[in-house]
Every structure is written in structure tokens, then in C-alpha cells.
Amino acid sequence: MKKFIATTTKIFLISTMLLNAKVNACTRLVYHGPDNTVLTGRSMDFSINIPANLWIFPKGIERNGEVGPNSIRWRSKYGSVVASSWDIAAPDGMNEKGLVANLLWLVASEYPKFDYDGERPGLTIAAWAQYALDNFATVDEAVKFFEQEKFAVVSDFIPDTDKFTTVHLSLSDASGDSAIFEYISGKLKIHHDRSYKVMTNDPVYEQQLAIKSYWDTVSGQDFLPGTGKAADRFVRASYYLSVLPQTSDPKIAAASVFSVVRNVSVPYGIAIEGQPHLSNTRWRVVADQGNLIYYFENALTPNVVWVDFNKVNFEKNADVMKLALDKNQTYAGESSSYFIKSKPFKFKGLDSNPY
């Protein structure tokens, strides 16, 4: 009994020290199963309403970095399905090659300086994930490109709020490879390894790995931290992911990943005094990267809708399509036939020189 109390006290003290910083929500995890079964799940947790719509973008779309005349320009190589935020950003999505991109909040983010009239081009942070989906089939391709830092990622305040956007990017591909991209003190830090399967918010990813190394010494069957704070969610997601049944059945795999994402979600409407950054879950996604199925679940309309990529036209000059979900429209099951032709939304960037 004394040993149990001592162990529990040690866990509490270490957890308290690790969790002393302000945190935001969101959790991302990657499942590796038999027969090349790979799925990525995530929760979108935010302190204010963040309405989402689903979009189908074909290949061949011309885009720019939306930061004025000094913006990068590109034409999408791959089609994708994305979940938008306010139809000004794409924080989540999967492309036709099975590459998944997720943006999660990271308070510690600090991006490189951008000269509006300078020579180095820029990319709005609202399109950071979309740029990866448009241009890369694998994590390795993306890592080799991003480490060259050919452009600056440019952030700004979310419209009509005092929230300056500070996020990090995770990528996973159909092989199960994984990478996390963070800008710390203006420098890009890349963590690239297929073992990096779980990611939350603050602290920076290097410290998240340190937290995991400690909790790996504690049996999850005996004790797991249960709060909604980022480090606790990281520990729970890591443990449950490690003990999920190994299956290549797509329905069981998707259900298993959803069950872990729900376990680390923050109950809707939760507000804790003194914890303004602890945010409830708004929506969840599971992306099946082998079977190319993108599942989406809204907390306010808890029916899972999904898009089977085999039923989508991603060819060049195909229509951009939208499934409106931002007013709690209700769908269930495979919903590609409910998408309607739409003009693509414009990524929020810099409308003018801010300096």
C-alpha cells in the first residue's frame, strides 16, 4: 500500500510540473495495423465555435500564399478532401495518395519574420496544411521539401478575435510514416519517425516525448491521468493506441480509432474556472489512408459522415464540391453524393502590408 501511495504521489508531482503551462486542446493519433492498415484520427477542440464544412478539391487548382505580391504560387498535384474552419482555413484533410495533414494549436509557436515587400515569399498559415496535401504523396517528400525553408509561414489573428494563430503541423501517410513540424523561436523543427504516432498541443513535441518516456514506465492498466489537459490526453491516447486490437477490417479499425479519439475528447460545454484554454471538442476526424475513406463527426450532430474517395472525381478541371455542415446540417454514412458544386473558399491571409 505504501509503495502504491508513493508511486501515485510521484506521478502527481511530475504531472503537475509538466502541466504547469497554459494548454489548448486537440489530439492526433496514428494507428498501425496488419496488412498495411493505417488510420489517423484527431479531435478539434477550441474555446470558441469553429464551424466546419467538408470540401472536395480536384487536382490542378491554382493557388497562392495569400500574403500579398510576395506570395508563393502553386498548382495542386493531388486532389483532397478537407475540413474547413469558417471557410477561411483548412486545419485537416487527406489527399488522394493517403497523405493526412492536421493542424493543432501550439502556444509556443513563433514563426520566421516575413518582409511583405522582401524577396523571400510567404504562405498564409491558413493554407499550410493544404499546401502539403496539394504537393506531396508521402511524409518523406514533405520533410525533404520543408526542411529547405523556401518560404515563410505567415500567421495572423483569427478574424474578429484576439487569438493570434499559433499551430504546429502533423503529417502521416499511407505507409504509416509520420512527422511533426513546429516553428520555435522562428526556427523550423522537424520530428520525423513512424514511431511519432501521438501529438497534442503544448508543450513542444520534444517535451511531449519526454512526458511519454516517463509514463511508459507506469502500467496503463493500473493508473492513467484523467484530465483534459494536453499531457494527460497524450498519455491516454498513447496507451490506448498501444493496446487496440490489431485488425485489417476497415470498419473495426475506424471504430477503434474513433473510440480512442472520443476517450481523449473534452466533454461539450465544459468550462473550468482558471482554465480558459481548456477547450471542448467541436468535431472529430478519422482518415483511413489505405482504403481512402475520410470520416467526420460533429459534436452537435453526432452522426458520422464519410467520403469514399473511390466515388469522388479528383481529375483536373473537375468541380470543387462542398458539403455544408456549419449550420448543424445532418447527414449520416457515405455522403459524397450530397456535395454540391461550389466556388472554392479563399484562404485568409494578409490583405495589406501590416507594417
Which H or E run includes 351? none
309-316 long-range contacts, Cβ below 8 Å, gap at least 24?
A: 309/81, 309/96, 311/336, 311/337, 312/56, 312/79, 312/81, 312/336, 313/58, 314/56, 314/58, 314/59, 314/78, 314/79, 314/80, 314/96, 315/58, 315/59, 315/79, 316/58, 316/59, 316/60
Nearest of 91, 106, 103, 104 to residue 23 by alpha carbon: 106
135 is catalytic: no
The H-or-E segment that residue 18 falls in is: helix 2-18
SS3 7: helix
Catalytic residue selected from 25, 26, 89, 133 = 26
> In angstroms, rounded to a whole number, what is the distance separating the alpha carbons of residues 176 and 39?
8
Q: How far is CA 73 from CA 69, 135, 318, in A?
A: 10, 12, 20
Contact present, 339 and 323 (Cβ < 8 Å): yes
Catalytic residue IDs: 26
